Amino acid sequence: MSSFHILPPLVASLRRHLPFSARAGKTILANRRGASSYMRPSSRCSVTQVYDGGERLGLMCQLEFEDAGREPSIIVASVTQLSVDRKCPVWRDIVAYQKLRRERLVESGREIERPMVSGTVAPVHADGLRRGQEWRSGK
């Protein structure tokens, strides 16, 4: 089953819960740090919009960062590079999507970044969708 088919219902589910807080992964932080090397950017951000990037890009989101003493910055990044608190109402949906997306990226030979879960690196085969399983919202 192509992960492309799960995106429309997942996007709708995530949009119902906007905005929600998250932590940015290493790749996102490295890009932010390159824009302003004089300070260490915060990994805390708010997900303010969700986009369907199709099979090639996957699920994308708009992130807003508010670092002390600076104007808020906005970045668009992959949901696979985020960590969401377990208390977030869409946490299970995001973890399930991340697992499915990581499996697809590994199968295609593309590099992946594992998201952080509760301060530790999540295993590639975390709880979530199994290969070939259809997407169903947690609701």
Rounded distance between C-alpha atoms, residue 97 and residue 44, angstroms: 21
pLDDT greater at residue 138 or residue 93? 93
pLDDT at 89: 94
pLDDT greater at residue 11 or residue 138? 11
Span 11-36, average pLDDT: 85
Rounded distance between C-alpha atoms, residue 16 and residue 31, angstroms: 28
In a domain, 127, yes or no: no
In a domain, 33, yes or no: yes
pLDDT greater at residue 118 or residue 83? 83
pLDDT at 5: 65
Residue 88 binned pLDDT confidence (cut-offs 50, 70, 90): very high
In a domain, 125, yes or no: no
Structural domain boundaries, residue 98: 3-120
The crossing angle, in degrees rounded to 10, of helices 91-107 and 7-16 is 150
In a domain, 126, yes or no: no
Contact 95, 81 (CB under 8 A): no
In a domain, 81, yes or no: yes
In a domain, 104, yes or no: yes
In a domain, 97, yes or no: yes
pLDDT at 108: 82
In a domain, 114, yes or no: yes
pLDDT at 57: 87
Number of domains in the chain: 1
pLDDT tens digits for range 8-23? 889 999 999 999 999 9
Rounded distance between C-alpha atoms, residue 81 and residue 114, angstroms: 7
CA distances from 18 to 13, 22, 47, 128 (A): 9, 11, 7, 22
Span 54-65, average pLDDT: 89
pLDDT greater at residue 138 or residue 87? 87
